[in-house]
């Protein structure tokens, strides 16, 4: 019987691990077990067998911060977000949400040899439409506009939305905007995401969103803010206009384009059709604070009994808590080489039986989702007569799977592209994806080609991290191709 490919390189892997362990400054980067090397070899083997990038998984292991340490977010905020999603997901309904002459201000200009860099700001329209949903620090939207001193052809501008961890403007300006000035004479407008940079809440740790609801607020804000900027650029005479972003930035750019009433080039890089798989089966699911999410889901009845009924999206790829998703979750834990303590933190209770309970929970979930929404004027909580009762709720065998299912439901409701209008011209969309992306799983979810027929998908070898670090030139070329395609198809649309 032929040995698997990784077996032949087992000694090499052991050597690399040994060298890395000798030079690592932080011993916490590695599991403190007697079988460290064996676990690491098995880890590489599973990476190979699952077809995901080893670098993606290893990089995730180096990051110790947790996502959503505050939990799901206030139930009343979730209700407001879901109601607003029903409006912003329909391009016709929100055509007049942002006035044509919405005020935008430039407060600083820097002169450089090849360009001018303008700093600007405006008040996020989301603050007017859903008052108080944004943290105070995020109400003022800030951007940087990088304009070439010499245009090569027309006056093209590409709006870049920020990916995870991309605070302020330096990264996008250095890796994308300045090279685009030299290569194509194309201007770039860099919008700062809510919860990042100057817009980061004081109680938020680095890039780790405190609540699940924060991601939905970010998306709603960026859709409206992108509309403000596109209309401002039109008023200022720039043409053609397009949107891009990498990772989360690509996803947010996709959301924004669904709301734009005209044909527009869209180049989402390293993103896909929904964020639900990112936080339930991708490597980032390891960073989710499942302990707090499970606790809140178990104790507060509003999530199970009322929030579920507000979820409108129930596509073919939603709420898959059958064997496939369970296998994916289990495989992920093995892939990440979780220690006993780590497994405890992501809900080990679901491993000790309870298969029937998990199945029943899914049927109840689907029934609830198919029902009609109810009011959240009152927020009932399950009776808490004693600590024993709360403990029993938090330790039921199916709790972790129920929480994953609820996460998938709310994520699909607010982030699934099928829940938003189809862009006006999908032939102007060029998606750039990494074949072995462990951050953006594509298995088990609708593809962008199914949701947006006519869009183009280009695949790169490697994973998420390697593509982000070394494939910026390919992202830029896709942008140029998208803009050229637009100019050929709509030469007079300005």
3-state SS track over 142-209: EEEEEEECCCCCCECEEEEECCCCCCCCHHHHHHHHHHHHHHHCCEEEEECCCCCHHHCCCCCCCCCC
- What is the chain's percent helix, strand, coil content, to nearest 5? 50, 15, 35
Q: Is the pLDDT of residue 421 over 90?
A: yes
**Cα angle 313-367-413, degrees, rounded to a multiple of 5:** 20
Q: For residue 174, which phi and psi values (nearest 5 degrees)? A: -75, -45
Q: In sequence order, what are the residues at sequence separation of 6 or more whose Cβ sits closer than 8 angstroms to the Cβ of residue 412?
A: 274, 276, 311, 313, 315, 317, 318, 319, 419
For 155-198, write each residue's pLDDT tens digit: 999 999 998 888 889 999 999 999 999 999 999 999 999 999 99
For 428-481, write each residue's pLDDT tens digit: 999 999 998 988 988 888 999 999 999 999 999 999 999 998 999 999 999 999
Characterize the bridge pairing of strands 140-148 and 187-191: antiparallel
**Cα angle 11-12-15, degrees, rounded to a multiple of 5:** 85
For 339-379, write each residue's pLDDT tens digit: 344 444 433 333 333 333 333 433 343 333 333 333 333 33
- Which residues partner with 429 through β-bridges? 266
Q: Is the pLDDT of residue 310 over 90?
A: no
Q: Is the pLDDT of residue 85 over 60?
A: yes
As a whole number, the mean pLDDT across the chain is 79
What is d(CA 150, CA 155) in angstroms, rounded to the nearest whole number?
10
Token code pair at residue 385: 């007569």
Q: Is the pLDDT of residue 385 over 70?
A: no
Q: Is the pLDDT of residue 63 over 60?
A: yes
Q: What is the pTM of this model?
A: 0.76
What does the pLDDT read at residue 393?
A: 55
Least Cα distance to 488 among 112, 154, 64, 1 occurs for 154
Query: How far does CA 124 lie from the centroid of its chain?
Result: 20
What percent of the chain shows pLDDT beyond 90?
57
**Cα angle 221-224-226, degrees, rounded to a multiple of 5:** 105
Residue 351 to residues 297, 304, 326, 347, 388, Cα–Cα distance (Å): 18, 21, 10, 8, 22
Helix (H, G, I), strand (E, B) or coil at 26: coil
For 466-481, write each residue's pLDDT tens digit: 999 899 999 999 999 9
- Range picked from 16-25, 320-329, 395-404 for highest mean pLDDT: 395-404
């Amino acid at each position: 019987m032929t040995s698997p490919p990784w077996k032949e390189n087992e000694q090499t892997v052991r050597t690399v691990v040994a060298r890395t362990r000798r030079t690592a400054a932080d011993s916490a980067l590695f599991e403190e077990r007697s079988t460290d090397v064996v676990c690491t070899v098995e880890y590489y083997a599973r990476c190979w067998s699952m077809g995901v990038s080893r670098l993606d998984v290893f990089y995730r292991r180096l990051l110790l911060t947790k996502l959503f340490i505050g939990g799901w977010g206030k139930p009343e905020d979730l209700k407001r977000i879901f109601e607003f999603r029903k409006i912003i997901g329909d391009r016709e309904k929100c055509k007049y949400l942002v006035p044509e002459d919405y005020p935008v201000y430039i407060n600083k200009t820097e002169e450089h040899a090849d360009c001018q860099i303008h700093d600007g700001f405006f008040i996020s329209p989301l603050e007017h439409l859903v008052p108080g949903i944004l943290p105070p620090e995020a109400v003022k939207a800030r951007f940087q506009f990088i304009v070439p001193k010499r245009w090569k052809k027309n006056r093209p501008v590409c709006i870049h939305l920020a990916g995870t961890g991309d605070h302020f403007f330096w990264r996008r300006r250095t890796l994308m905007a300045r090279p685009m000035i030299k290569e194509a004479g194309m201007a770039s407008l860099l919008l700062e995401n809510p919860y990042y940079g100057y817009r980061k809440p004081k109680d938020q740790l680095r890039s780790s969103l405190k609540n699940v609801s924060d991601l939905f607020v970010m998306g709603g804000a960026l859709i409206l803010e992108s509309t403000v900027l596109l209309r401002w650029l039109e008023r200022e005479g720039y043409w053609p206009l397009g949107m891009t972003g990498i990772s989360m930035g690509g996803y947010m750019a996709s959301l924004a384009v669904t709301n734009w009433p005209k044909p527009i080039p869209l180049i989402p890089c390293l993103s896909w059709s929904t964020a639900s798989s990112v936080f339930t089966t991708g490597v980032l699911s390891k960073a989710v604070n499942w302990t707090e999410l499970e606790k809140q889901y178990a104790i507060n009845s509003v999530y199970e009994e009322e929030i579920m009924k507000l979820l409108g999206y129930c596509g073919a790829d939603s709420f898959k808590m059958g064997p496939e998703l369970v296998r994916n979750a289990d495989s992920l834990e093995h892939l990440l080489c979780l220690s006993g303590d780590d497994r405890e933190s992501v809900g080990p209770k679901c491993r000790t039986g309870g298969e029937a309970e998990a199945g029943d929970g899914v049927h109840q979930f689907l029934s609830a989702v198919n029902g009609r929404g109810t009011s959240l004027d009152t927020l009932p909580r399950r009776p808490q007569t004693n600590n024993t009762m709360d403990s029993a709720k938090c330790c039921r065998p199916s709790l972790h799977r129920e929480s994953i299912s609820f996460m998938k439901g709310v994520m699909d409701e607010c982030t699934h592209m099928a829940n938003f209008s189809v862009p006006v011209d999908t032939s102007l969309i060029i998606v750039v994806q990494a074949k072995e992306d462990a951050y953006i799983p594509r298995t088990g979810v609708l593809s962008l080609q199914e949701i947006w027929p006519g869009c183009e998908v280009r695949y790169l070898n490697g994973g998420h991290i390697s593509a982000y670090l070394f494939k910026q030139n390919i992202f830029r070329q896709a942008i140029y191709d998208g803009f050229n395609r637009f100019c050929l198809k709509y030469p007079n649309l300005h």
